[in-house]
A and B are shown apart, each in its own frame.
Chain A
């Protein structure tokens, strides 16, 4: 097996507050292989964005990584100095944020922002950087790139701006692109185009993608594998097709049940009763137990760790062979 681009092991992120320490991410592990698209899905507050912030070293204080390690191409990056981290951000890992309207500095021309980023990471002259910037804009599908490059962000539409953001993320040919809800703020009509452009350009470059979204539909069409997050933990991770067809974790089944499907013959969408707990009130045992239709005693007491189920990992006692003894 080839070495993964990104390897996260037992990552824990904590926020100390005056009412005790909140655990935003609790002991999660996953890998992303080169060129692979990993979808990360979950409700808001499940820890998706926090995971990406941890990977790029941009957790807002007072939050901090309390344990575990993050490896990029086999090298640890979670314990680097600020200066060394900067060399990875933008260079090895490109990032695309949710809202293209606010991601770009309104007072800088698109050309300035592109050239500045390119020259931070690559030894290019101003003129060469500009050429590269134009060809990048061209690639992400901005018409008349050479002319529009000197426009200000507000002169572009939302979809076009997100293309600019993609160009910025790809400036230095990163090995991994983290896209944090890249289409949530966009019109439905352009969402598919943006995903398409992003996926195509990354595929051409062999860059892996960590695609964070709450839209299961986007994951189904785009990702190779999917990680389902719930209350700061990974409930289930595995190949997209398998997870969608046959969800193992009761939460994943619930999530799948709430996607409208043309082929499904269900009369109405299945709802998961209740809502995800706040970080300050995560129940004992499995975080999902109060909402779980298949809950049994052990779930209320003991926290399940991810268990191997085929080529998946599922954090659920249903799949523990020893469940009867333990209970």
Chain B
């Protein structure tokens, strides 16, 4: 078990290093850091001095090492656009994104699995046909259109829910949460639904496909032949086997919710890291782009690790070595 986790950890570090290299190259070679810091009219001697001071004349690997050392400490330089430390920018906006992402991940997971199981168990029912068609419509609807549609219906026409922003937030010192106030929770509903829909459809289709596959398996046939109840077969044997492979992909999907938040945050003017990123891309604010890339990669690596461990815990076949009985 420990060896397995250590191996996974090592792999994660390699991935992080690769992403760091990309971030660094981005940071170093896209746009001119000096020009963006000093402006156009600066003397050659100033430029040279700043180059020296920033270490831009050092060999590549030293610069890269310095970049990583800084990154580990959460130091990504100053935003060209906002003239603030990037880490500070990200940290103040992170809670908004995390609350949004977690809420929509939860929605996607609960409804995705339920609907997936239902449509797999009742493949011929009218409801299944309706759900499957709707899901295809859902996949064809771009996230931003769903957002605009929801805003139009629930904010403009019905005026039930706010159309933008986070509402009132409570500052817990290290975390500014919108979950503790009525207006904060109301503000969360539309963006969370918008963000969850795409993942929901994916998870649903995945669970359905996987479950249909499992229902055809020999051991399900054998379970039927032993006269087990429909319930025990569907919700015991079949569901358990369905969820094992689903865990991996679902876990990764949930990770991508954070990155997908870019679009949702833009539509709802949600003050998260996604909208920070999109604004940075528009003006090529490289330090923010590089830091965001590192941040997303970190999220993915952590989720990946959790998924692996979970997988290990759920599937006894992976544990064979620790028990040692072998084939």
Contacts and interface: CB of A to CB of B under 8 A. Distances in A.
The answer on direct contact between A and B (beta carbons under 8 Å) is yes
B315 A107 contact: yes
B6 to A, nearest CB: 24
Interface string B315-327: 1110010010111
Interface in A119-155: 120-121, 151-152, 154-155
Contacts of B317: 106, 152, 154
A202 interface: no
Contacts of B326: 155
A238 interface: no
B232 interface: yes
Contacts of B223: 105
A90 B226 contact: yes
B237 interface: yes
B175 interface: no
A152 B316 contact: yes
Interface stretch (B87-95, B113-121, B213-221, B303-311): B213-221
Main secondary structure of the interface of B (DSSP, over half): helix
Given A90-B228, A107-B241, A117-B228, A95 B222 contact: yes
Nearest to A91: B227
B225 A104 contact: no
A271 to B, nearest CB: 33
Nearest to B226: A90
A99 B222 CA distance: 10
A95 B315 contact: no
Contacts of A120: 226-229, 232
B226 A58 contact: no
B244 interface: yes
Contacts of B226: 89-90, 94-95, 117, 120, 168-169, 171
B176 interface: no
B224 A89 contact: yes
A94 B226 CA distance: 7
B218 A103 contact: yes
Contact of B221 (A86, A87, A97, A165): A97
A236 B115 CA distance: 51
Contacts of A157: 327
B192 to A, nearest CB: 33
A7 B232 CA distance: 31
A106 B316 contact: yes
A88 B228 CA distance: 11
A102 B232 CA distance: 18
Interface in B221-276: 221-230, 232, 236-237, 240-241, 244
Interface residues of B, number: 28
Contacts of B228: 86, 90, 116-117, 120
A86 B223 CA distance: 11
A168 B228 CA distance: 12
B227 A89 contact: yes
A97 B225 contact: yes
B222 A165 contact: yes
B222 A106 contact: no
A89 B236 CA distance: 18
Contacts of B323: 151, 155
A88 B227 CA distance: 7
A198 interface: no
Interface size class of A (residues with CB under 8 A): 20 to 34
A108 interface: yes
B229 A151 contact: no
A211 interface: no
Given A116-B232, A120-B232, A154-B320, A103 B222 contact: yes
Contacts of B217: 102
A156 B317 CA distance: 12
B30 to A, nearest CB: 49
Contact of B327 (A87, A90, A94, A154): A154
Q: B217, B221, B240, B320: which has the most chain A beta carbons within 10 Å?
A: B221
Contacts of B225: 56, 58, 89-90, 95, 97
A155 B316 CA distance: 10
Given A152-B316, A155-B325, A97 B218 contact: yes
Given A91-B227, A120-B229, A107 B327 contact: no
Contact of B229 (A86, A94, A95, A103): A86
Nearest to B241: A107
A165 B221 CA distance: 13
A116 B314 CA distance: 20
B219 A90 contact: no
Contacts of A116: 228, 232, 236
10 contacts: A90-B227, A90-B228, A97-B222, A97-B225, A107-B314, A117-B226, A121-B227, A154-B316, A155-B320, A155-B327
Interface of A: 56, 58, 82, 86-91, 94-95, 97, 99, 102-108, 116-117, 120-121, 151-152, 154-157, 165, 168-169, 171
Given A108-B240, A117-B227, A155-B327, 20 more contacts: A86-B229, A89-B224, A90-B226, A95-B225, A103-B219, A104-B222, A105-B219, A105-B223, A105-B237, A106-B317, A107-B240, A107-B316, A108-B237, A116-B232, A120-B227, A152-B317, A154-B327, A155-B320, A155-B323, A168-B226
3 smallest beta-carbon distances between A and B, as pairs: A90-B227, A89-B227, A102-B218
